[in-house]
Amino acid sequence: MGEAARFSNVFAPVFKKAAETATEEKKLLLDRIEKLREQRVEIDDELEKLQEQMTSLEEAITLGLTHAARDAGLRLDLNRPVNGNSPGGRVGTGATVSAEAIRAVLTKVPDDKKSAMTFGSIRKTVSLSDDKLVASALKRLVSIDKIKTVGERRAKRYYIGP
C-alpha cells in the first residue's frame, strides 16, 4: 500500500466527520433562514395592517376637519392637490397584485446580490398563473424598497438587499 493510500485511510474518518458536521450546520442555517423569512412575512403583514389603520385614521381626521370647517362657515377642500395637478396620482393599467402574490414572489427572491435572479428564473420558481402578476409584484416590491435590482432591462436581476 502506497504512502498516500495509507494517509487517506487514516484521515478518512476525520474527513467524513467534518463533512457530516458541515452538512448538519448547513441544514441548521437553512432552517434558520426559512424561519427568518417567515417572520419577515409576518412583520410585513403587520406593517400592512398598521398602514391601513393609519390611512383610515388620516381619512377620519380629514373628514372631521372638513365638517368642522363647514360648521365654522369655511370652505375646506382637502382633496385638491397643492401643486394644481389632478388628484389620484398615477393612472396605470397594470395587474392588481394581491398580498399572496407579493408574498409568493418575495419568498423566492434571493437574499444576496451574488445570487440575484432574473425575472424568468423567479417566474419559473413562483407558482402564479400569470406572468403579469409576477412582474407587477416585482415592480411593487422594488417601488417600496423591499427588493433591489442590479443590471438593466433584460439583464436585470432581483435580490433582497440591505
Strand partners, 149: 158
Distance CA 80, CA 85 (A): 8
Q: For 147-158, what is each residue's pLDDT tens digit?
A: 888 888 888 888
pTM over 0.85: no
What residue type is assigned to position 69 of the chain?
A
pLDDT average, residue stretch 29-41 = 94
Those residues whose C-beta lies under 8 Å from the C-beta of residue 147, and which sit 6 or more positions away, are 106, 109, 138, 141, 158, 159, 160, 161
Please state, in angstroms and rounded to a whole number, the distance separating the CA atoms of residues 45 and 152.
Answer: 30
Q: Determine the average pLDDT of the residues in 104-115.
A: 84
